[in-house]
């Protein structure tokens, strides 16, 4: 069963995101940041998180926005900067990830599509059963109901996730390079 994530369920998806994306910037910024991000999404008319539940247990979720600029407002950016400064003080080596993030988002801005999937995770034991596809379908309906025609999602070009996006109907629109890292950006057309 798929239904919107409630605020009291947020810790579950924060932990799922953190575990799935260890080593990526959002996880380096810490669970408090991920909680802040998902809370903003859930509380905004421009955002949604859907959970896929089996026997009341969340085994997969997708979070995204129809317009990230409405969520990444000035208040959000100030808070994000504070999380980033704290994370850099604790671990200066993540500074290159912050620079990469800024570079990638500058490049992505040129595509001109503000609707994005920000995170999609299915627990290990439940993968390859069609749950990811069902979550994508629900997110597509959310975007369609906003009268939008397409949305984006990105992933590290070296991970298997690109295969998932090709299989579920996304088109590769841009590969953004930053030193030896490549980020694949996919578009889903409704």
Interface residues with ligand COA (CB under 6 A)?
Answer: 20, 120-122, 127-133, 155, 159-161, 163-164, 167-168
Residue 158 CB, nearest distance to ligand COA (Å)?
A: 11
C-alpha distance from residue 75 to each of 25, 36, 80, 86, 106 (Å)? 20, 12, 9, 17, 19
Beta bridge partners of 172: 186
Pull the structure tokens for residue 172: 């590769």
Q: Which is nearer to ligand COA, 19 or 73 (CB)?
A: 19
Whichever of 88 and 156 has its CB closer to ligand COA, that residue is: 156
The span from the CA of 182 to the CA of 156, in Å, is: 6
**Nearest CA-CA partner of 22 in 128, 163, 159:** 159
Shortest Å distance, C-beta 64 to ligand COA: 10
Comparing CB distances to ligand COA, the nearer of 1 and 147 is 1
CB closer to ligand COA, 18 vs 36: 18
What does the alpha-carbon distance between residue 47 and residue 57 come to, in Å, rounded to a whole number?
A: 22
Give least dist CB 166 to ligand COA, A.
8
Minimum distance, C-beta of residue 85 to ligand COA, in the bound complex (Å): 25
Minimal distance, residue 123 CB to ligand COA, in Å: 7
Instruction: Identify whether the C-beta of residue 5 lies closer than 8 Å to the C-beta of residue 60.
Output: no
Point out the residue whose Cβ comes nearest to ligand COA.
Answer: 132
DSSP-assigned states of every residue in 7-22: GGGHHHHHHHHHHHTT
Closer by beta carbon to ligand COA, 51 or else 132? 132
């Amino acid at each position: 069963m798929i239904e919107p994530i409630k605020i009291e369920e947020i810790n579950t998806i924060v932990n799922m995101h953190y575990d799935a994306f260890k080593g990526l910037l959002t996880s380096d910024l810490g669970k408090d940041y991920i909680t802040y991000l998902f809370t903003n999404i859930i509380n905004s008319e421009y955002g949604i998180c859907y959970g896929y539940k089996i026997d009341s247990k969340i085994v997969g979720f997708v979070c995204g926005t129809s317009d990230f600029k409405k969520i990444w407002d000035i208040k959000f950016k100030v808070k994000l900067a504070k999380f980033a400064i704290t994370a850099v003080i604790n671990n200066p080596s993540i500074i290159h990830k912050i620079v990469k993030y800024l570079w990638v988002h500058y490049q992505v801005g040129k595509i001109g599509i503000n609707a994005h999937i920000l995170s999609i995770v299915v627990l290990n034991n439940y993968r390859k059963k069609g749950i990811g596809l069902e979550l994508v379908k629900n997110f597509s309906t959310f975007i369609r109901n906003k009268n939008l025609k397409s949305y984006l999602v990105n992933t590290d070009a070296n991970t298997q996730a690109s295969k998932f996006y090709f299989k579920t109907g996304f088109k590769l629109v841009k590969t953004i390079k930053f030193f030896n890292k490549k980020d694949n950006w996919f578009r889903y057309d409704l």
